[in-house]
Chain A
Amino acid sequence: MSLLKIAWRNIEQRALASTLTGFSMALGVALVVAVLVAQGVIADSFTRGACGYHLVVGKKGSQLQLVLNTVYHLQDPIENLPYSFYKEFVTTGDQPGRFAPYVKVAIPYCLGDNYQGFRVVGTVPDLFDKLEYAGGRKYEFEPGGRNFEHDHFFEAVIGASVAKKTGLQVGDEFQPTHGLKEGDGHKHDAFQVVGVLKPTGTANDRALFINMEGFYLLDKHAKPVEEGHAADEHHEHEEGEHRHAEPAEHHAGEEREADHPGEARDADHHDADHDKHEHDDAHEKAAAAPDAHEHEGENHHHDHEGHDHHHEPLPEEQREVTAILVLASNDFSAEALRTTINEGETAQAASPIRVISDFFKTMVSGVSIALLSLTVLIIVVAGVGIMVSIYNSMNDRRRDIAVMRALGAGRGTVLSVILLESILLSLGGGLAGFLLGHALVGILGPVVEAFSGVTIGFLQFVPYELVLIPGLIVLASLMGYLPAMSAYRTDVAKALSASP
């Protein structure tokens, strides 16, 4: 009979005490597993999302806020950048922008709307065609889907989590709601889903990406034009098809602040009578684009075939972008760009990897270490519980140990049996705790997702969990040592002579 079986029989003999001590170990391990998995998955998710490009460029302010808002769709945007600043990163016709020689890809981000609480991002198809994520992975679409096209203004691509939670599929339409948070905001024109992204494990799973050209045409998304210019434009069109339009100079002459910081320009004073002004966007567009007025009557019918074909892009002077994702030509160019942009007065450039790394080092790591220390302490306390349980049983088992010795078991053998009992209890409790911890992660997943935007599930593992096995064996050996030594020192003759 193996020592392991002898140890197991001894554990069975004290079933209640063994179960209770094992359960306390399970609780400790469950908490450690939950903390490790949550921390690991969140860190991994943040790192994945921060890969694929060098810089995030936005209005001056907090770098962390810029990165969290742009890369992870958390928090509110800072402010908008002029569209002309975005053009510095690209080549228009033959005219390269100031930063264009150092830039491989520049992707504009326009924020300001949501759909059922998920963030809607106005952007360009290059986001999925030219950028990668998580260290070299290309964006892929579920079968039957594709990227939206530049010329189809009201097409959209949605993230995997959005598709799962909203039920949207390729061919469906959705109406973004004005504002970044779910609420009773104004519903915009509908966009048609043409692609569902395969899961990426990044925050993009939780966003909807619409054609930026369509975004600009939505209600309240056009920046007011200069007063003089607007008056001229309005003059040309006031007798036209703009039956619901107000004079353009009425907008342009007022200071207007965005409902949501950073979103494309809003017109607060219009909120009270949305119905009357549901064609504002068309109006504003028309105010700057004289040849666009002929399409006004079709603007808000959700016939996208006609929609895309009959709309003209919003003039550049009425455009803004919330952020720009920049993939530089190389790492040196990226660093040079970052320095140059940060030295200017308009914008800031942040390296998402660096910002997130700093954030984890300063904030998350500290909290995680504190949490881990606490949970490890709970495991140690559970280990002490095992020690106390076995040690207290030694008086009752003294005679059994003496019998084993009388049958020929050496001191080392009885010591090993007691140590094995401690290890079995720890590992058994640890295994239960491992399952319990993952169940806890599965149950708390939605809460973590709501808080951090990271999807986390029962079957997610982190390598650090493997440390638990040797860790528990070492702890059990230490905790089993005292009762094992008590067994080792048993006076066989005395124990056998004692009354049973």
Chain B
Amino acid sequence: MSLTELAFFALAIVAIATGLLALLVRELVHTILWIGIFFVDLAAIYFLLEAPFLGVLQLGVYAGAVTILLLFGIMVTRKRIFSRDAATGVGALPIALAVVTFIFLIGALGQLPGSAVPAASYSVASLSTLLFNTEAPYLLLLGLVMLAALAGAIYLVREGRE
């Protein structure tokens, strides 16, 4: 087993473990800590796949913005920040559904050929050329969606609304 594969397995185990812990711990602030580690871990996987721009984007948008936004949401909606979440029983049905989904997805993999070699001639310039030429409509659409979301968010949280 090569060093890259070993690193991937370690990162994958950390991703699964932190993802589960984030949803299972009772303290909401601890959830934010685990999910932050989860996002940083996925950024490391992107760096492993030779996609440094995506890695930096993951660190900036997810590990930075989304984590802080979620923490802010917890801060605003709680009287005491370290108050525990109400106990929710882990029923058999959610676990069964999750396991069935996992088995179904793994079974759907079948015999897939080959394995990926990270692109050798990768540069951020070529990615930006692609993004602003061929994929420009999608980028434009993303901007419009963000504008609509901004307007919607302001409408939802503004004062004096019954």
Answer yes or no: do A and B interact. Answer: no
Q: A-side interface residues toward B, CB under 8 Å? A: none
